[in-house]
Amino acid sequence: MTNRRTILAAGLAAPALLRPQAARAQELTLRLHHFLPAISNVHRFFLQPWAAKLAADSNNRLRVQIFPSMQLGGAPPQLYDQARDGVVDIVWTLPGYTPGRFPSIEAFELPFVAHKRASVNVQAVQTLYERRMRAEFGETHLITAWGHDAGVIHAKREVRRQEDMVGLKLRFPTRQAGEALRALGAAPIGLPVPQVPEALAQGVIDGAVVPWEVVPSIRLHEALRFHTEFEGSPTFYVATFILAMNKAKYEAMAPDLRAILDANSGMAAARMAARPWDEEGPKVEEMVRRRGNQIISLSPEETARFRRTTEPVITNWVAAMRERNINGGALLEEARALVAQFGQGVA
């Protein structure tokens, strides 16, 4: 009898003994891979705060370990496939690093479509993704999509007029930005951001188009003296970004942890992503100005010339989308309407 009671008691106690192990099994650490250094504004002011928010909301049971500067191997254009294939759990990357693979999101990357403020573009891109682009990114679980603020031309010589663009070898981030530069007479060269410093040093490029936010992380203000801005909206160009997660990893998450991730995805994450550009970008611009570099603002008349010259880029994109059975005209119209909607009252 005693042995029987002992065995029964042990059996009843077993679930209690297993509870701490079961609780530990619900903890999860996700590896996030990206291409910029840890000093970059996106790393410090978006990715780290976003990871901290997940940890806080989950009582430190859902953690994100961030690997900057391609520390886990590969090249920036391979990041999306790393998430798709489960090489890493999450990536931050640009759809533009794989030209033509994600055509619909290019509607925001066309010249003079997007707003000059990231707070507007993040909402417009995320909304259009939810409405029209889920299938394009269906190989992964997309956490959020967004766009940055106004792009700036950084060059070895002054750019005040369209004629100053002729022959200028400029790094571009997206296919449509490259086409816009070509239409303006420049020689566009596609490079991931981390390759810009070496390309400048070797004379491969004369400059780059990037937003202010990224300038310090690649020390662009030290290599170049001239920076040309476009006043007002719509702006010359923006690039779009995504946080993409391995689909199997997402689906295998404990339901409560998945709910926490979901609550910090979509528009919530997109709005967080605006900070590095809208809040930190102006600080970078002021730092560059204090350094003595020359910051040029194109006149409204010259901006209008740039816009007219790049209109064929949009026409050609719409025609190319038609060949892929995508209604590019409708996408473009909706993108512009969303920019106008979220841009109301935004200076």
Find the mean pLDDT for residues 73-88: 98
Residue 80 has pLDDT above 70, yes or no: yes
DSSP alpha helix (H) spans, the chain:
2-25, 41-42, 48-57, 79-85, 118-128, 175-183, 196-201, 220-223, 247-251, 255-263, 266-273, 275-278, 281-291, 300-323, 328-342
Give the DSSP H or E segment for 208.
strand 207-210
Contact 133, 124 (CB under 8 A): no
Task: Give SS3 for 62.
Answer: strand
In this prediction, residue 231 has a pLDDT band, given cuts at 50, 70 and 90, of: confident
For the chain, the maximum distance between any two Cα atoms, rounded to a whole number of angstroms, is 99
Q: In order of start, what are the domains of the chain with their CATH numbers? A: 28-149+238-278 (3.40.190.170), 152-237+290-342 (3.40.190.170)
Burial class (CB in 10 A: 0-12, 13-18, 19+), 266: middle
C-alpha distances (whole Å) from 280 to each of 46, 187, 216, 286 are: 11, 30, 11, 10
* Closest of 138, 129, 85 to residue 106, by C-alpha: 129
Encode pLDDT of 2-41 as tens digits: 444 443 344 444 444 444 444 454 899 999 999 999 999 9
pLDDT of residue 347: 82
pLDDT of residue 247: 98
pLDDT of residue 273: 97
Encode pLDDT of 267-297 as tens digits: 999 999 999 999 999 999 999 999 999 999 9
* Closest of 177, 110, 100 to residue 315, by C-alpha: 110
